[in-house]
Structure 1
């Protein structure tokens, strides 16, 4: 009997860890992968893309979440472009600092492709970043833009919101280890009306979450986990052993404080808030 297809969201993070930025809040700032490390990452990415292309009986939504910057590498641009044209791929998206060129998106299916873009003040000229977002918007490339909510970033975030196209959602991530007074939170909420979801970590212990059932995390070796933040292995993508492990399961962590994690909690309404744009972080009514 043929294997039944599933609706599956896959977050892929290969070994790539190099980045061209030097953000003080990131452990991978200005890291350089060796030629061999880049070759390993390319092989892993191409293996994953081939797997996704072959799963024609499934309905897949894919989010690439590299530690480093993927879009400056040709194999990420090619994988996104090719996967976007496949009818069983519902969405293919990537987190990016938008430092690379964007002309490649003209070759993709823009009904499927999406970009999750982050502006890092001090790492790239403001005008250059805004010009790229405007170009993406003019070309019909679905994308969100975001900023880490550090006090020194507030003026840049306000300027972004004023100057980006209205239909481009600007999100604010609460800075790791940073707490916000109500007055500070109100300033950020004026920029991003949904900032309250990021402001506090969400209690998750024992609560139902879609991860491990309809959402999985995959590394470069094909090891499957329920999400990036739970180390328990569910099997391997390439031998199919993960399939038997897909089932509802409560979260084993006390709290979840990252959007790519808590957005999948069933106790939160975020699948409705971001309906149609969960992976690229775009609200349904934006």
Structure 2
């Protein structure tokens, strides 16, 4: 069995102060940080002991890689032979030398550029360091109007082999003319521009893709609140099955990428979790995600 797991522990603090983010400059207490560390170590231990093949995407509310335990988890998980991929969403503000300790056929990075928090030159230097290390990564930006020039500069500064994505800004409506400007930067922006109608449509979440919280609570995805079991007592397994989406729409990439209707498992084959299209990177020998789907029964 191959399970894709989106892990989100208690961490909710960030070193950046983005105006569009509710977790900007938020600080966790020492107790909260200790709880987050313990939860992540428990999760890493579970992955190390399972007989399943596993892919993991860390989706912390805050910035994980400034914490040593997320860096340690990335290294440890990447070196487990049954882990196909371990990736993390990050602003890349941490030091990067530790990445050399990862198995770089397995580790990958979903990097977000925040122009109000870091200079263009510093951020591009970080991306160049990732390239020198041989790390797999995509890099992107939130598509608010004031970021357009920064996004263009970023696209021009990086080689074509690096995919630069654009996330539609929450609550922002794009005219066709505005959308075309972002589409010039990210040829796949049209997938993000509008929420995807999803109710009743087949989705891999709850079947081969699950969301895991720090205490082991398992949900089908981050956006459907119902619990389907717990990781640590194995109760989630009985609930795994093909099923349709219960929500009217899905507007986040980490959700709609798993909708069968979008066809994005073919677009991102080999790079689902780190958001690298097949056209921008080779699918690795042990990491290509299956695009097969069985429609839910009645």
Q: TM-score range by the shorter chain?
A: over 0.9
**Unpaired runs of 5+ in structure 2?**
281-298
> How far apart in 1 are the matches of 2:159 and 2:233?
45
> How far apart in 2 are the matches of 1:48 and 1:165?
36
> How far apart in 2 are the matches of 1:119 and 1:181?
24
| Aligned equivalent of 1:70, options 54, 57, 64 | 64
Q: Does 1:122 align with 2:116?
A: yes
Q: Does 1:216 align with 2:210?
A: yes
- 1:189 maps to 183
> What CA deviation, in whole Å up to 9, does each residue of 1:87-141 have, x standing for no partner?
1000000000001111110000000000000000110121111100011012110
- 2:293 maps to none
| Aligned equivalent of 2:7, options 1, 9, 12 | 12
- 2:75 maps to 81
> What CA deviation, in whole Å up to 9, does each residue of 1:194-232 have, x standing for no partner?
000000000000110000000000000100000000000
Q: Does 1:33 align with 2:28?
A: yes
Q: Please state whether the residue corresponding to 2:233 is helix, strand or coil.
A: coil
Q: In the alignment, is the contact (CA less than 8 A) between 1:49 and 1:79 conserved in 2?
A: yes
> What CA deviation, in whole Å up to 9, does each residue of 1:6-55 have, x standing for no partner?
11000000000000001011000000001110000000000001001111
**Unpaired runs of 5+ in structure 1?**
1-5
- 1:138 maps to 132
Q: Please state whether the residue corresponding to 2:111 is helix, strand or coil.
A: strand
TM-score (norm 2): 0.93
- 1:169 maps to 163
Runs of 4+ in 1 over 2 A off after TM superposition: none
TM-score (norm 1): 0.97
Q: In the alignment, is the contact (CA less than 8 A) between 1:116 and 1:143 conserved in 2?
A: yes
In the TM superposition, residue 165 of structure 1 has moved relative to its aligned partner by 2.4
Aligned length: 280
Q: Please state whether the residue corresponding to 2:235 is helix, strand or coil.
A: coil
Q: Please state whether the residue corresponding to 1:184 is helix, strand or coil.
A: helix
